Chains A and B, each alone.
Chain A
Amino acid sequence: MRKRNRQADADEAEIDLTPMLDVVFIMLIFFIVVASFLKEAGIEMNRPDSNQNPPETDATSIVVTITGDNQIWMENRRIDIRAVRANIARLLASDPDQSFTVKTESGASAGALVEVGDAAREAGVKQVNWPAEEKK
């Protein structure tokens, strides 16, 4: 009884799994090697559609301009980068739903742009808009 049972086992159930295991292991190693667990981190910036109204016509909008020599202008005065956050926070306090736009002029550096965007996000704006630079 037991003997017949073993024989039947050997005939149908005992498939040699070794080749499949080889393949599966090679696939596993391939995917482990290829998987790059790199996570990019950064700040989000929105490019408004060019057919929208230019933001300066919108009365309730905070606009910061970065000039070509990395000066930061806001409400017609030049301000220091460290003062950007406080100024935006002050404007946001009156109307928390204001949109925020940072405009750059040709020659500004990405570092200044990121710093302004960062300050705005720190102050609590929902979205940093960065429209295309005007071509001269």
Chain B
Amino acid sequence: MASGRSGGAQDGGGEGEIDLTPMLDVVFIMLIFFIVTSSFVKEPGVEILKAEAVTTSACDRGTIIFAVNATGDVYYDKKQIPIDRAYRLAEAAKKEAPKANFVIQADVDTPTSALSDLLGVIKPLMDAPLCVSTDDAG
């Protein structure tokens, strides 16, 4: 079999028959890698001046992101949302990715009352501490 194929390549396919198998292997591995790593994060899409913190660490699986701007408006998935809808959106996101954790991006000037209200709404869905997004001061 092996001798037959190499003989064939010698007399017939010197020009056109490139063996695609190794490339296919690589392409498949890349494909699977990107499928596995893609997490479909919905970005809040609002400009936020985050507070700086020295102890900033990565938010583990923090892929459900809400943003609260300086006037206390809540943003999710590039839209401003009323606080009452936050629970349903959070519930839907949590159902889609049960292991995802919540992240809140808050402006330095965001009133804590707005942040507290939002946290109170999504608190029943949280199974890890909230991650308040900050910039690394280091």
- B-side interface residues, number (CB < 8 Å): 58
The residue of chain A having its C-beta at the shortest distance from the C-beta of B108 within the complex is A111
Cα separation A32 to B129 with both chains bound (whole Å): 31
The answer to the question of A79 belonging to the interface, with a C-beta cut-off of 8 Å to chain B, is no
Question: Which parts of A110-133 form the interface with B (CB within 8 Å)?
Answer: 110-115, 117-118, 121-122, 127, 130, 132-133
- Select the stretch in B75-83, B91-99, B114-122 that faces chain A: B114-122
Cα separation A72 to B102 with both chains bound (whole Å): 27
Question: In the complex the two chains form, is A109's CB within 8 Å of B111's CB?
Answer: yes
Contact with B51, one of A32, A36, A46, A110 (Cβ below 8 angstroms): A110
Find chain B residues with CB under 8 A from A114 CB: 51, 53, 106, 108, 132, 134
Question: In the complex the two chains form, is B132's CB within 8 Å of A43's CB?
Answer: yes
Find chain A residues with CB under 8 A from B20 CB: 17, 21
The answer to the question of A108 belonging to the interface, with a C-beta cut-off of 8 Å to chain B, is yes
Rounded to whole Å, the gap between the CB of B33 and the closest CB of chain A is 9
Question: In the complex the two chains form, is B55's CB within 8 Å of A122's CB?
Answer: yes
The answer to the question of A93 belonging to the interface, with a C-beta cut-off of 8 Å to chain B, is no
Question: In the complex the two chains form, is B123's CB within 8 Å of A9's CB?
Answer: no
Cα separation A118 to B130 with both chains bound (whole Å): 14
The answer to the question of A95 belonging to the interface, with a C-beta cut-off of 8 Å to chain B, is no
B-binding residues in A (CB < 8 A):
2, 5-6, 9, 17, 21, 24-25, 27-28, 31-32, 34-47, 66, 104, 106-115, 117-118, 121-122, 127, 130, 132-133
17 contacts between A and B (CB under 8 A): A2-B8, A21-B24, A21-B27, A24-B24, A27-B31, A34-B38, A35-B38, A38-B41, A39-B58, A40-B133, A41-B136, A47-B129, A108-B111, A109-B109, A111-B109, A113-B115, A115-B51
